[in-house]
Amino acid sequence: MAPTVTTDQQPAVTSAVLDLSKNGVRTANALLASGAAPDELTITNPRGAHAVACGLTRDVDVTIDGHVGYYCAGMNQMATVTINGSAGVGVAENMMSGTVRVRGDASQSAGASAHGGLLVIEGNAGARCGISMKGVDIVVGGSIGHMSAFMGQAGRLVVCGDAGEALGDSLYEARIYVRGTVASLGADCVRKPMRDEHLIELRELLLSAGFDADASDFTRYGSARQLYNFHVDNATAY
């Protein structure tokens, strides 16, 4: 076991376990950012705290035992963050790399503006999942809410359940795969053929996420590329 780590704000943090009810979010995040924490750390008693494990920039494995609030694992780089519970708004927001896994459900705007890495939500995700995604891979075991992948620029969104209204509204080049039903498609989002290359990449994504689903059961959606430039015939779609 690694030695005990001390911080300026709290007298002691046990080597492999940090009790958030005793140390607080600021202490936990400062510890993880400092590099003084062990490579594997478990955070207990999060009790819905916001901004837990944000801004990590090194290869560290963080397990959070319990539910978290807003923006957990935001701006993540390289780290692996596992949430043994559900997450509030904006989990993995603006993530650059690494892996974030939510064992429960996620609220709205999961993976918002994320540039890279893998976000796995084993339960359901709320509205605007993957909004303005810029290269992240998001795999959802359940269903997603309305306006998901709104203005999605790059990356892949995989949904093993159903999708809400206005899926992929104003989509750029992000790819969307849905196994269930889609309530409605947003502006410029259309159904597209599932070619061999898409089946291969979808199988890889499902494998990476740990989901046992058949890629052939999914439908692919993407941009019709009609909103890239203004055209008077499309005025009602703007």
pLDDT digits (tens, 9 = 90+) for 188-229: 999 999 999 999 999 999 999 999 999 999 999 999 998 777
Lowest mean pLDDT among 3-7, 19-23, 75-79, 97-101: 3-7
Cβ contacts of residue 186 below 8 Å, gap of 6+? 147, 150, 166, 167, 168, 169, 170, 171
Bigger pLDDT: 16 vs 49: 49
Is residue 215 situated within a structural domain? no
Residue 176, phi then psi, degrees to nearest 5: -125, 130
Query: Global pTM?
Result: 0.90
Is residue 224 situated within a structural domain? no
Give 180: exposed, middle or buried? Use CB within 10 Å, 0-12, 13-18, 19+: middle
pLDDT mean across residues, the chain: 91
Domain that holds residue 103: 18-123
The one-character DSSP state at 236 is: G
pLDDT, tens digit, 9 for 90 and up, residues 155-165: 999 999 999 99
Is residue 104 situated within a structural domain? yes
Tell me the C-alpha distance between 203 and 215, whole Å: 6
Q: How far is CA 188 from CA 37, 111, 191, in A?
A: 47, 22, 10
Buried residues in 129-155 as b, exposed as e (16+ CB within 10 A): bbbbbbbbbbbbbbbbbbbbbbbbbeb
Is residue 89 situated within a structural domain? yes
Q: What is the pLDDT of residue 35?
A: 76
**Region 30-45 average pLDDT:** 88
Is residue 183 situated within a structural domain? no
Cβ contacts of residue 195 below 8 Å, gap of 6+? none
Is residue 169 situated within a structural domain? no
> What's the number of domains the chain is made of?
1
